[in-house]
Structure 1
């Protein structure tokens, strides 16, 4: 079977779509798949699935839902263990775990081309918001953490592509990311670099001025050292501004959660 969690839940058995429509069943399956091949205590599962809206008898309700999942998936996948439940499957059959594995491999790879290929494969697994519309606190937190890892992968890939021959092709993508993350200095800095390396120095300087004013208005702060360095290199007209040691434009702590307005 194949399981897709990086978007609306999608379960396939060969060419057949396995229909799991009830939100609680989707939540239970997703919670078990997230901790694949590990025993998840019943109380933990109940909190993940129902949040603060626990049924009167959580363990009984959980047992009933597990029975329905077993019917849909097959008896062998979900087993009851002391105090909890275990879903057994190949991690390669769950896009969430493949995504994490590819990011790990990319972080250990030195070559730009190989790293870019791994990041591209990882990002290609996404087909929407993780976990669909599941909205208990646990799913909200998991979704936020995954979105952060996705953004990090997108920016790591952008760093690699900015060193390539066609940096201007990144401008539309980075413009969209900057609109979604208006206070993220790494995103904005990459956009400045893409504009500059595409021969659009005036636009690059205007973009820098835009983020400088936004940081002052929203955070009462000046651009960080990395972003200021990029600005200086644009002013000097360097065609290939040199990256800082350890990364081009680190994200300032906490500012990804802030948005303009």
Structure 2
């Protein structure tokens, strides 16, 4: 039997055997995301409503959610989505859900040596296709879940970069760091790591330019100076190497 694939690390999507499933409108995808985030556990209808609507839901919310579940059940071949006394439960192997697999791989990297951990983290980060849960949208519950996933991504990139720098593989740290620093210039630890990686692959000018761009952004947007850690990285880049 072909393996199902559920994707939350980017647009909310699903497929089977390489074929993309037709899930329907955005609100139906929010229902699916809420079920996937509580995979194999019953999810009350009220929580599904909270996942779909930001603010006061319409009077028809319960009936609308039931309709979305009915159509999801058909799209997912029926057997996976079950009705409980208070709501619904989606049954699947956690490794079929990219967000859950990501968390498993990141957890597996903890406590391993740098080489093994870096391989696991690169596999985990390779699952990302865009903003978690497709970016802004849905209710507060999905918004918080997306923020938590994005924070986990940034932490994984930082862990990966530190391991690669210790291993003497700065060239492999550049791409994952650049992918997140551009959207998170306030994460100065990541900026510092990217500056270091740039420097170690002979891209000193890019490292210095990144510092100046970050310094201006911090001043203009937040009214603060760079942290001592970032300033120390900058100073080290200016110091002649022995």
TM class, shorter-length: 0.7 to 0.9
What do the CA deviations read for 1:99-156 (whole angstroms, capped 9, x no partner)? 11111111x2230011101111111111223323671233333223222221221222
Task: Name the CA shift for 1:202/1:134 in 2 (closer, same or farther; >3 Å).
Answer: closer
Q: Does 1:20 align with 2:23?
A: yes
Matched, 1:63 2:35: no
Deviates more, 1:195-204 or 1:184-193: 195-204
User: Aligned to 2:237, which of 214, 234, 242?
Assistant: 234
CA separation of 1:87 and 1:238: change in aligned 2, threshold 3 A: same
Q: TM-score, normalised by structure 2?
A: 0.83
Q: Indicate yes or no: 2:154 matched with 1:151.
A: yes
Residues 217-257 of structure 1: per-residue CA shift (max 9 Å, x gap)? 44343333333443444344457xxxxxxxxxxxxxxxxxx
- Give the alignment's TM-score, normalised by structure 1: 0.77
Unaligned runs of 5+ in 2: none
Show the counterpart of 2:133.
131
Deviates more, 1:95-104 or 1:74-83: 74-83
Is contact 2:83–2:89 with CA below 8 Å preserved after alignment?
yes
| Unaligned runs of at least 5 residues, structure 1 | 240-261
The 1:134/1:214 distance shift into structure 2, 3 A limit, reads: closer
Let me know the Cα RMSD of the aligned residues.
Answer: 2.7
Whether the 8 Å contact between 1:55 and 1:61 is mirrored in structure 2 is no
Q: Does 1:116 align with 2:134?
A: no
